[in-house]
Chains A and B, each alone.
Chain A
Amino acid sequence: MALNDWINYADYSDLQNFAYYPYETHNIVYEIGYNLYQFLGGLVAWLIDVIFPGNGLSTWLMSGPVVNLFAVIIVALLIFLIIFTGVLVSLWQERKTLGRFMDRRGTQIGLKGFLQCVADGFKTFMKENTVPKKVDHMAYMWTLSLVIGTSVLVACMLPLSDRFFIVNYDSGFLIVMAIYALAPLFILVSGWAQNNKYSLIGGMRAAQSMISYEIPMLITVCAVAILAGTFNIGGVVAAQHESTWFIIPLFLGFLVFFTCSCAEAERTPFDLAESESELVEGWQTEYAGMKWGLIMLGDYLRGFASCAMISLLFLGGWNIAPFVPDNINAILPEAVQLLKGWFVFFLMIWVRAALPRVRIDQILNLGWKVLTPLAIVNLGIAVVLKMGGFF
């Protein structure tokens, strides 16, 4: 269903025949957004109508297409807000869990440390927004917004349940991976545009590591798609609910995907691009104030998206387990998906706590000589299982 179809006035009457217009299935976010606009917009329209009785604006505000438009805007805001809160929780989780890994307490600022991220955001907002004189200003700002934008897009495109999504599209994982793979280009351009040796080195490192880790990741997604028979995210989850979690037949693929997503999200064993002990802050060196804060947020959004993808691909997504009956699964599937994502994020934190940063040649060796063959072996296992009729 295209964007035009449900904003277009001409096709509006046809589309209204769907029970869950503009979606084909029940979408709880749209329902909330629709009711919220019915209330808020209705209040505004009523007030205007009280002051100017019989005006056209109130009628226009509450007409079908306009209600739809505003409801969809509310849906976009809601989904971003929920994902954003999930990312803040994972930030808090990282701080506290890393603390326990080192036998200390972690952050303590408000609500058991949860308000630390609010304090950080406030601090970065208060900072002076400096831009170095000799940067390529256009590339500097554009790449920044594109890196953050793609990260937000990836994180928001992953559904939390079969009733909590923006678009339900058949090429689901392919589109997510495609947007995921856009960031290295922007990071490379950004490193070049900053006119700084640390940024350039960081940008090149980010580009090469991300490019070399894209490939095993995509091959693993292909193996899962072969088992599930579809790239649709809901389809993959449904296939796991019917048979079993794909971590059991494709454990190799899980390991490969986990390692690669650590590298993709630039998390610690693979944070060569932003290695603060060698390069100042990697490709983010020249970004000051809230620009840097948003980059950090984007990084964590990518990590969150990686964890959500692992949960969807290997851990059964929003269904609790294959043997749990459907009526129990249907109670709060969004929470199940979020919890599984946070569990995978815990594994990432564990790896971060345990392992030091790898060398630049080791990361390439690992990517090309270990993970890519393992991903291909995993693909072979998937093909054999599918041909053998097990799935």
Chain B
Amino acid sequence: MAMKYLDKYPRSTAKRLWVLKPLWSTIKLFSKTAVRRPVTIQYPYEKEWLPDNYRGRPGLRFDMCVGCGVCERACPTQCIKMIEVPDDNGNMVMRPQVFLGRCAFCGYCAEFCPTNAMTVTPEYELAELYKKNLFWGPRRLHFEDTTPEMEVHYEVTLQSDIDAGNPEKRVRPFEVDNPVVDEGKCIGCKKCERVCPTGAVTMIEKGVNEKGKPKLVPVFSHDKCICCEQCVIGCPKDCIHIEEVL
């Protein structure tokens, strides 16, 4: 047994001086840290520098929001819920409410927001005494010093662009997609016109139905449409779908 151990680890003078190596490496580190500050940050007293687009809690610019509900559907933790609140004129509008107890600070709501009303903010100290206080309403989500850097843009390079020899990034490319209506199935109920947050849907008379009466079908204004899919969700007959353009 002893022979095996000695064969495996033969005694050498160099190995007997093994104490010198850790002594050298520690004194090297000490001489560095004696001059410069240690990497530790005294958190409550001093804070780390944050970039402008730091993804802290979501912030909302109330007036820019159109209440389209894209953030609600994009949220991976489903912490956003659209609630009805009065705006400055007293009209009831739909605005997102965020449950920060579940929010993962991923920033997808800000990334997918078509109007850039949802932003990220550098706030991250959000502890509350009660769980109910973690439900942040649309007015509370407002962040005073919102800068353009806090907007998150959805940038993507499309495969179709690469195929066409134009490998440049596009910002929000899916907002140019079009809703298309299947006129044969449409019953002209005007639901899409009611739910459209930007007023991009107008109902016009076109043709007649089986009973020979004039029929209303939606027409989409591509300038106003932000491709929020509210009409697709709202349609009772499932006759609207989104058609990819790019």
Binding site for B on A (CB under 8 A): 97, 99-105, 108, 350-351, 353-355
Contact = CB atoms under 8 A, between A and B. Distances in A.
B40 interface: yes
Interface size class of B (residues with CB under 8 A): 10 to 19
A355 B23 contact: yes
A104 B19 contact: no
B23 A100 contact: no
B39 A103 contact: yes
B90 interface: no
A103 B38 contact: yes
10 contacts: A99-B38, A100-B38, A101-B29, A102-B29, A103-B29, A103-B38, A105-B40, A350-B30, A354-B27, A355-B23
Contacts of A99: 38
Contact of B23 (A97, A103, A108, A354): A354
Interface string B19-44: 10011011101100110001110100
Contact of A104 (B22, B34, B40): B40
A354 B27 CA distance: 8
A353 B26 contact: yes
Interface in B38-84: 38-40, 42
* Closest CB pairs A-B (n = 10): A354-B22, A354-B26, A354-B23, A100-B33, A353-B26, A101-B30, A105-B38, A105-B40, A104-B40, A103-B33
A101 B25 CA distance: 10
Given A355-B19, A355-B22, A100 B30 contact: yes
A357 to B, nearest CB: 13
B38 A350 contact: no
B60 to A, nearest CB: 39
A350 B34 contact: no
A108 B42 contact: yes
Interface of B: 19, 22-23, 25-27, 29-30, 33-34, 38-40, 42
Given A103-B38, A355-B23, 20 more contacts: A97-B30, A100-B30, A100-B38, A101-B29, A101-B33, A103-B33, A103-B40, A104-B38, A104-B39, A104-B40, A105-B38, A105-B42, A350-B23, A350-B26, A350-B30, A351-B23, A354-B23, A354-B25, A354-B27, A355-B22
A154 to B, nearest CB: 27
B246 to A, nearest CB: 51
A350 B19 CA distance: 12
Nearest to B41: A105
Nearest to B16: A370
A141 B72 CA distance: 70
A353 B26 CA distance: 7
A108 B34 CA distance: 16
Contacts of A351: 23
Nearest to A351: B23
A103 B29 CA distance: 7
A108 B42 CA distance: 10
Contacts of A355: 19, 22-23
Contacts of B38: 99-100, 103-105
A101 to B, nearest CB: 5
A201 to B, nearest CB: 25
Contacts of A102: 29
Contacts of A105: 38, 40, 42
Nearest to A269: B19
B42 A101 contact: no
A100 B30 CA distance: 6
Contacts of A108: 42
A271 to B, nearest CB: 16
